[in-house]
Amino acid sequence: MSLASLLATARELGASDLHLEGGLPAVFRVRGTLRTHGEPQPPAALTAMAREVLGDDWAAFVERGSADLSRVVGGQRCRINVLRTSRGVGFAIRLLSSSQATLRSLNLHPDLARLVRPTHGLVLVCGPTGAGKTSTLAALLQEVNLHEPRHIITIEAPVEYSLTPRKSFIRQREVGRDTPDRKSHV
């Protein structure tokens, strides 16, 4: 089964995440619950998928044992973590929304917009995996973008939400692609 077909199944199931591990069936996270689906994934097939997804980054993956990237696979935007495990190559994939995140679309309280009104300061968004940290940050950046003529620079690993400039000038940089990799200075 191809990665694109697995992602199509994830969309049909309404899954937020897809987990793949050699010798195990695909696992989909649907409304917070993990559900297995289909036959076990052959380790060799997952290695081939990883080589295809990583392309020129395969050698770096072999050296490090993991890689984080964002890609469009089968028409679906994804954040992909490729990792080495005791069973070979595994994947942890988050399906990303193609729509722009806004405070309203995420049903966030409008008072959150006050966090981005000052021109100085620090805002920390914390929480467990899948709690909406990245979506909240994208919505806050979109709030600035829609209402303020500012210069916004993001440094992300990887870029998940592609922001379209409106009133602000936006530069989104991905670690390892657009900036030096964390490990390149060691």
**Residue percentage of the chain with pLDDT more than 90:** 67
User: Domain 3-95 maps to which CATH number in 3.40.47.10, 3.30.43.10, 3.20.20.140, 3.30.450.90?
Assistant: 3.30.450.90
Q: Which residue has the higher pLDDT, 31 or 24?
A: 24
Q: Per-residue pLDDT averaged across 68-96, rounded? A: 92
pLDDT confidence band for 182 (50 / 70 / 90): low
Residue 186 above 60 pLDDT? no
Residue 80 CB-density burial (10 A; 0-12 exposed, 13-18 middle, 19+ buried): buried
Q: Per-residue pLDDT averaged across 46-60, rounded? A: 94
Q: Give me the phi and psi of 113, to 5 degrees please.
A: -60, -25
Residue 154 above 80 pLDDT? yes
pLDDT at residue 185 in the model? 45
Q: Domain segments of the chain: what residues?
A: 3-95, 110-185
* 157-175 confidence digits (pLDDT tens): 888 888 999 999 999 998 8
Return d(Cα 92, Cα 82) in angstroms, integer: 7
pLDDT at residue 90 in the model? 97
Residue 127 above 80 pLDDT? yes
Tell me if the pTM is above 0.85.
no
DSSP string, the chain: --HHHHHHHHHHHT-SEEEE-BTSEEEEEETTEEEEEEEEBPHHHHHHHHHHHHGGGHHHHHHHSEEEEEEEETTEEEEEEEEEETTEEEEEEEE--SSPP-TTTTT--GGGGGGGSSSS-------STTSSHHHHHHHHHHHHHHH---EEEEEESS--SPPPPSSSEEEEEEBTTTB--GGGG-
HSE-CB at 89 with a 13 A cutoff on CA atoms is 22
Dihedral angle sign, alpha carbons of residues 43, 46, 52, 58: negative
Residue with tokens 């995140």: 101
Residue 181 above 60 pLDDT? yes
Dihedral angle sign, alpha carbons of residues 157, 33, 51, 87: positive
